Amino acid sequence: MQALASWLDGINRAVGRVVRWLALAMVLVQFAVVLLRYVYGISSIALNESVLYMHATLFMLGAGYTLLVDGHVRVDIFQARAGTVGKARIDAFGHIVLLVPSMLALLYWSWPSVRNAWAIYEGAISVGGIPGVFLLKSLIPAFCVLLILQSLACLLRNLVVLRVRSA
């Protein structure tokens, strides 16, 4: 189980290594947008939208990596006081009952919109913008799949803890 969990971690670790560079690119492009607008009087809708696309990509594809490194905000009064087994139980419950079902529901309900966007190659949000809304919408199922994979990896680790402690 540990080997499978590590392999699943590797997927989100690889995605995280790539998308983290979007944070730097986003800052540089936003700086260019401000510089062009206020110093040179030039404005570009496509350049402005590129920041939105990078932001969406960073957060949607980076969510699995954030779960991997336990970077999500926890508001759990029970887990703070729990021991190793208690934390594993709480996390397992969260993955099985909350995270995976919600991602499966989001995947199910968003799929028609993503499929339709690809069918018509849905264009720009604004006139003069990036003609790739279908790509932006594709981030939704990718987000779901990456979070489900990472959730399974975390769940496998929790099951190892629970099995070792109960033996």
pLDDT recorded at residue 166 = 66
Which amino acid is residue 167, in one-letter code? A
> Dihedral of CA 19/23/25/29: which sign?
positive
pLDDT at site 34: 97
Q: In the prediction, which pLDDT does 136 show?
A: 96
Per-residue pLDDT of the chain (167 residues; tens, 9 = 90+): 889 999 999 999 999 999 999 999 999 999 999 999 999 999 999 999 999 999 999 999 999 999 999 998 877 787 888 889 999 999 999 999 999 999 999 999 999 999 999 999 999 988 999 999 999 999 999 999 999 999 999 999 999 999 987 65
**Alpha-carbon span 16 to 61, nearest angstrom:** 8
pLDDT for position 77: 80
